Amino acid sequence: MDIVKLPIELEKEKIDSRFRLVVIAAQRARELAFGAKAKLDTKSKKLPTIALEEALEGKLEFMMGDEARVALEEARKLDYKRFIEEKKKDSGTEDMSELERDLSVFLHEREEMDRSVLEELFADKSEDTEEQS
């Protein structure tokens, strides 16, 4: 098959228009470009041609009409939920790192304060013993 010729009479139950055929083939060609395996053996080398042949042979699964609209809405909801979850994770790690920074500053200040108190205690005792001698 040198040139893919569109059949004059497409099966209306499978693909209702030539436009839909082009959209299906374009999406499949993109999948093939990203490394998907062809679903049929062909002599064609070009990805759009392979995608068109797969669509015309009925090897591709697709949705039309209300079923496609519902599936698209569900996909958008899932993407939005995933986006929200990722945002929460990202903001949680930022808050944690900020909390860790504050805690480390507090602990560092506390250590310095404890050292100064200890130095004062021991300095007083050594000065008292020197004065007594």
For 7-60, the pLDDT digits (tens) are: 555 566 677 777 888 888 999 999 999 998 999 998 889 999 999 888 888 888
Residues 40 and 52 in one domain: yes
Residues 70 and 131 in one domain: yes
Residues 68 and 58 in one domain: no
Residue 31's domain comprises 1-62
Given a cut of 70, whether residue 1 has pLDDT beyond it is no
Comparing 88 with 68, which gets the higher pLDDT? 68
Residues 46 and 75 in one domain: no
Residues 120 and 79 in one domain: yes
Question: What is the C-alpha to C-alpha distance for residues 133 and 126, in angstroms, rounded to an integer?
Answer: 11
Residue 97: predicted pLDDT: 72
- Structural domain count of the chain: 2
pTM reported for the whole predicted model: 0.49
Sign of the CA dihedral running 110, 115, 120, 122 = positive
Residues 79-111 have pLDDT tens digits of 777 778 777 776 655 556 777 778 888 888 888
Please tell me whether residue 111 adopts helix, strand or coil conformation.
helix
Residue 73: predicted pLDDT: 87
